[in-house]
Amino acid sequence: MKKRILFTLLAVVAGFSLVMTGCQTTPAGETPESFSLKVIETSDVHGSLFPYDFINDKPAKTSLAQVSTFVGEQRANANQEVILLDNGDILQGQPIVYYYNFEDTGEKHIQAQVMNYLGYEAGTVGNHDIEAGHPVYDQLKKDFNFPWLAANAVDVKTGEPYFEPYTVLHRKGATIAVLGLITPGIPNWLPEDIWKGIRFEDMIDTAKKWVPIIMEKEHPDILIGLFHSGVDANYHGADPKAKNNENASLLVAEQVPGFDVVFTGHDHKDTHMVVKNPEGKDVVVIGALNAARSVAVASIDFTYNEETKSFSTSVSGETVMMDGVPADQAFLDKFNGSYEKVKAYVSKPIGEFTKTISTRNAMFGDSAFVDLIHRIQLDLTGADVSFAAPLSFSATINKGEVYVRDMFNLYKYENLLYTMELSGKEIRDFLEYSYGGWMNTMKNSDDHLMNFKKDDKGNLIFNERYNSYDLVMRYYNYDSAAGINYTVDVSKPEGQRIDIKGFSDGRPFDMSAMYLVAINSYRGNGGGGHLTKGAGLTKDEIKKRMKSSTIKDLRYYLMKWIEQERTVTPAALGNWEVIPADWAKAAADRDYKLLYPEK
């Protein structure tokens, strides 16, 4: 049930300050004494508030209801103090947060209700929280009974953090400082209107700025980093030495002295390690799984020395799985009204599908699932070409009545729909980049179709978390196109695979002509690198190519489109194929079993 860091950190912190800012939990002037503290972190909860999957209409093994039980048990232990923290991405995922983000905006947001009830003492903003838009996150930071942190999200007008940079908590005379940082990659993924007025700065630079301020002003006995950022600084080919690394938590722990514990997030990984900072001191780095599947726990023993008037501390870390913890019935009773309201909302029928569709097929070729999105994007925009990818690894919408809940399988994220101009060559280069990361260069019919990750010995890498083999590029970057007919020759190397025959309506395709393209806002802002690394556009040029954007998220328009059509017959458009066809079919059959092994 537990994964534990076998580590004890011993540090003597000279000087004790009674300066108190932020959220205070201990009266000023309390006599210091030795004690034990557990700091519990949740991260990337993504709307998993109840042990129920609103999207698939079935029980869920984990949620904040289970976390409530675990935290309650820890608080009931008279031999220790407890602090509860959250590390962001709370406003996207399960339909209950979507409902309170955009449908029922008059009532206090369920996320604020729940987190205030659970007694969170600090949180850090996540990128998917920004995705909800200013009206949502601006109101939420007012409704929380605790500070919402992000020191590197800077107000462009004032030059000061838009959210709180850090907070100070107190227990039995000890001072615990918490610095919050958000992944700075947001401008690469989200339209500017959503984060207008905010500048996202480098995490390392920001930590180097704020840690000395905290040390001088607060004299903390423990400094905690609460970072909505992962630990793999090389993720998706990123340069760890470049500014604004998406996953810089480990880099901060290793390069910025002062931290005792760094809580991670964003990458949905169960993280538990110890690294050295520039002074040679050990830093515990831990992070929880998404969807409340686990919590990260830092256990800190404070020993007070009467002679030196200071604390010595020992720190250890662990992650605790929540799937064996029962849900807190008092929690469920407290929020049952919201649960029932949203369950009724997602159970509303909106249309009928004449066949079952699945994203599994979309991994290997042209599919009815992704082509339904293409059809709707082309209808909504009147564009010449549509780009879209499967946003879920294994999502199914069954034949028959289609409900609001199904829209969260059809389209996972709250992306807007853009139209922008690209040249014929840029469209081809975009696709070359997409299929270059998606599909392998096959040497013969016995080779793999999918671009699997391999270890140093050339063996495929199995991922226990997903019960599947790892891929070089994530599936949500597998963009195909509609509106044009083309082939993908996987016997050829990357960059030489795409042959565009013409438009699907019979028009000729000109590499030098400019065309209108329908594309989601994540991709349209440069997310995944298709427009930058693929089509070769600069960030400034991408902005110039933008022609229009929807006001509401794409899922909303998909829902309205289905409601209007009422009966939908999903079908693959048949506008692209992988060649050699016999190679591709044989390899797809084999690779399917690697991606989706029988349990």
> For the domain that residue 542 is a member of, what is the CATH number?
3.90.780.10
Q: End of a domain among 322, 342, 362?
A: 342
Same domain, residue pair 415 and 326: no
Tokens of 362: 């979309």
Same domain, residue pair 140 and 26: yes
Burial code of 503-526, b = ≥16 C-beta within 10 A, e = fewer? bbeeeebeeeeebbbbbbbbbbbb
Q: Would you call 318 helix, strand, or coil by DSSP?
A: strand
Alpha carbon distance 563, 474 (integer Å): 31
Same domain, residue pair 184 and 328: yes
Residue 26 has pLDDT above 90, yes or no: no
Alpha carbon distance 434, 412 (integer Å): 20
Alpha carbon distance 24, 26 (integer Å): 6
Report the pLDDT value the prediction gives residue 570, as an integer from 0 to 100: 96
The strand pairing partners of 177, in sequence order, are: 168, 223
Q: What is the pLDDT of residues 180-224, one digit of tens each?
A: 999 999 999 999 989 999 999 999 999 999 999 999 999 999 999
Residue whose C-alpha is closest to residue 39's, from 147, 124, 145, 121:
121
The strand pairing partners of 439, in sequence order, are: 450
DSSP 325-354: SPP-HHHHHHTHHHHHHHHHHHT-EEEEES
pTM: 0.88
Same domain, residue pair 159 and 107: yes
> Are 118 and 68 spatial neighbours (Cβ–Cβ below 8 Å)?
yes
Same domain, residue pair 263 and 387: no
Report the pLDDT value the prediction gives residue 141, as an integer from 0 to 100: 96
Q: Going by DSSP bridges, is the β-strand pair 222-228/261-264 parallel, antiparallel, or unpaired?
A: parallel
Q: Going by DSSP bridges, is the β-strand pair 261-264/349-353 parallel, antiparallel, or unpaired?
A: unpaired
Q: Mean pLDDT across the stretch 132-145?
A: 96
**What is the SS3 assignment for 484-527?**
EEEEEECCCCCCCCEEEEEECCCCCCCCCCEEEEEEEHHHHCCH
> Are 452 and 363 spatial neighbours (Cβ–Cβ below 8 Å)?
no
Same domain, residue pair 416 and 476: yes
Give residue 14's domain range.
2-342
> Are 240 and 234 spatial neighbours (Cβ–Cβ below 8 Å)?
yes
Q: Mean pLDDT across the stretch 520-539?
A: 95
Q: End of a domain among 342, 361, 382?
A: 342
Same domain, residue pair 377 and 521: yes
Same domain, residue pair 416 and 291: no
Q: Mean pLDDT across the stretch 309-330?
A: 96
Report the pLDDT value the prediction gives residue 258, as an integer from 0 to 100: 97
423 Cβ contact partners less than 8 Å away, ≥ 6 residues apart: 511, 512, 513, 514, 515
Residue 10 has pLDDT above 50, yes or no: no
CB atoms under 10 Å from CB of 69, counted, come to 18
- CATH code assigned at 29: 3.60.21.10
In the block, residue with structure tokens 């942190």: 149
Same domain, residue pair 358 and 335: no
The pLDDT confidence band at residue 118, using thresholds 50, 70 and 90, is: very high
Residue 14 has pLDDT above 90, yes or no: no
Report the pLDDT value the prediction gives residue 22, as an integer from 0 to 100: 34
* Domains: count for the chain: 2
Report the pLDDT value the prediction gives residue 8, as an integer from 0 to 100: 37
Residue 5 has pLDDT above 60, yes or no: no
Q: Mean pLDDT across the stretch 558-562?
A: 94
CB atoms under 10 Å from CB of 325, counted, come to 20
Report the pLDDT value the prediction gives residue 20, as an integer from 0 to 100: 31
30 Cβ contact partners less than 8 Å away, ≥ 6 residues apart: 170, 172, 173
Same domain, residue pair 503 and 573: yes
The pLDDT confidence band at residue 15, using thresholds 50, 70 and 90, is: very low
Q: How many residues does the chain have?
A: 599
Tokens of 537: 């556009």
Residue whose C-alpha is closest to residue 187's, from 139, 243, 265, 255:
243
DSSP 116-169: HHHT--EEE--HHHHTT-HHHHHHHHHH-SS-EE-TTEEETTTSSBSSB-EEEE
CA 308 distance to own-chain centroid: 45
Q: Mean pLDDT across the stretch 11-23?
A: 33
Same domain, residue pair 296 and 444: no
Report the pLDDT value the prediction gives residue 599, as an integer from 0 to 100: 55
Residue predicted with more confidence, 21 or 98: 98
| Across 10-19, 125-134, 219-228, 252-261, least confident range | 10-19
Q: Mean pLDDT across the stretch 120-124?
A: 98
Same domain, residue pair 304 and 411: no
> Are 182 and 200 spatial neighbours (Cβ–Cβ below 8 Å)?
yes
Element (H, E) at 543: helix 539-545
Q: End of a domain among 282, 308, 342?
A: 342
Indicate left, alpha or beta for 67 from its phi (over 0: left) and psi (-120 to 50: alpha): alpha
CA 255 distance to own-chain centroid: 24
Report the pLDDT value the prediction gives residue 383, as an integer from 0 to 100: 98
